[in-house]
Amino acid sequence: MVTTQQVGLRPVKTARGAIQGTLMYSRRIGGVAQVFVKDEAGKEYKLTAGDIENQHTVSEALDLSGLETLNEAGSPLVMTLADPGVRGLRLSIAQIDGGTQGHTVTTASAGGFDGTNNTATFDAAFETLDLLSVSGTRWVILSNVGAVALSAV
């Protein structure tokens, strides 16, 4: 079964160069989440770890907009996500390594992801959260592809 979920409209920078005006989305194929981009001509590209420029391989703070990727198969990454400061920011966070060790992203404010939870745990390749800031201290989850686990820590 193939299901497609639009993640958002925005340019995506890849190792092949910026693909401007692309539609980025995630698709579940046979229970596996995969991330794709589509250019203005309609050509589709499946993203692999080598395609994505902004990869995090050490624990650190994430940027507040764009596509942030987690890519460390050896040990879990412990990432932080600051309060957005303003409304209207779009952020996608995706695990691109194949590990199951449980990378975590923790928001600065309690309940920062959905009013209750402040921690997201990624444990499979191409699990993706697409976020929108709705206040200076809160994100809402527009989509959760691949069942990223949420908790209050």
Average pLDDT over residues 4-15: 46
For 78-93, give one letter per residue: b (16+ CB within 10 A) or e: ebebebbeeeebbbbb
Range of the domain at 33: 2-151
Q: Number of folded domains in the chain? A: 1
Pairing of strands 103-107, 119-122: antiparallel
User: Is the model's pTM score more than 0.75?
Assistant: no
Return the bridge partners of 87, or none. none
Residue 22 DSSP code? P
**Lowest mean pLDDT, pick from 36-45, 78-87, 103-112, 116-125:** 36-45
Cβ burial, residue 42 (10 Å; 0-12/13-18/19+): exposed
Q: For residue 49, report the phi and psi dihedrals to the nearest 5 degrees.
A: -55, -40
